[in-house]
Structure 1
Amino acid sequence: MTVAIIRFGGSNCDRDAERALEHLEIDAEIVWHEDGLPAETSGIMLPGGFSYGDYLRAGAMAARSPIMAEVREAAAEGTPVLGVCNGAQIGCESGLTEGAFTTNESARFQCEHVSLRVERDDTPWTAAYDEGDVIDVPIAHGEGRYEIDDERLAELEDDDRVLFRYCNEDGETDPEANPNGSKHNVAGVLGEHETVAVLMPHPERATLPDVGPTDGQGVLRGFEAADGGA
């Protein structure tokens, strides 16, 4: 498979994503958004960064790039799509997933390692873990607070579309373990299809053994699992 990593003006985690995927022996190619998706695309990653300087709202301008219509069409056809950090903001803004990511409760940019609890293990993005596992993945964002109205959140939870929640090392969700004030400690969610996911933490920064923990590898392995029909 070939994962197209979409680069927008202001993306800065595209090369990190490419290196992490290639470390896992997953073919990856950085694609400039104006060029459209390559014909051989079998997976799509929306990387982190500050697309268009986060003007208007984080991810709002990139979400209106013509390539995102291609991404939505590919997602509807079952192509695995993963949005990370700014890519998660773009994913929400473009309608790939429910909710929105907005300014951290602290009103500060936060860069630190956090603990995430795996909420389900039967999706491509979590198949490498067991439900209830706690993994260590870094965050780096100023607008990472997940927000959604109560009614839609209830539907999201009833449909079991929450992938990860912020937690402490014991797997407990409490306010002190929530780095940005995300509603119900939500850190990552699924779209209408289980092959589409967005999350605020950076799994690509927890993949290379030479630079730290490797708990994020399982998330990126989701491209293989989804492509294999898992």
Structure 2
Amino acid sequence: MTIPTPDIAIPARVRALARGSALTPAWENGIGGLTFRTDDDRYIKWGPLDREANMRDEAERMRWAAQWMNVPGVVEQGQDAGHEWLVTTAIAGDSAVAPRWIAEPAVAVRAIGRGLRMLHDTLPVDECPWEWSVPARIENAEARSIRLPDALHEPPPIDRLVVCHGDACAPNVILDAHGDAAGHVDLAALGTGDRWADIAVASMSTVWNYGTGWKDALIEAYGVDPDRERLAYYRDLWNET
């Protein structure tokens, strides 16, 4: 994800959803999706229909997860023939990749690790109706005509089954003013899977956002020793899919 320029063209649908509120560009993803923040503390996500992780799924998962933890509230969700959109309330705080936290990686990285452990310990596996398991992810990839290496069809045994975030990268964690995890966003892929599927991605994302040297600090803050085999497998699966 990148931060779009302030003068980026605002889609007509986004203007309509804003209902007169001022809009500030927040994010642009790799498929042309845009996220804007309104001046009345809402976020508006808009983009092309996504077969991998659509906004209808995200709204459903946020409503479910909100029973146990702090996630954005769903205001409105919809789609047309080519695009989809999602309007949510904002979580108080800032993304873990806001300028303040980029300048304080030791604080941010450890908060992300602790926040991920909180998510895994809080969301009830037995009540989760979705999967983010290896078979489900492989099936999803193949439905999108992605041919995965044979080695990825043989995952390591599950260490601990949890409800995974599904995109546990640093930008999807909100930190409060004290540098503690305040909530999570972008839950379109949330589902049950091995906790290392999330840990692998979260720790790998520290390189993209804070530079080298922080992967194991995140894992330490999560509260486990690095499992190199599972980390390697789930990072490869993420990169391939």
Q: Is TM (by shorter chain) over 0.5?
A: no
Which has more helix, going by share of residues?
2
* TM-score for the superposition, normalised by structure 2: 0.30
Which TM-score applies when normalising by structure 1?
Answer: 0.31
Instruction: Choose between structure 1 and 2: higher strand proportion.
Output: 1
Larger-gyration structure (1/2): 2
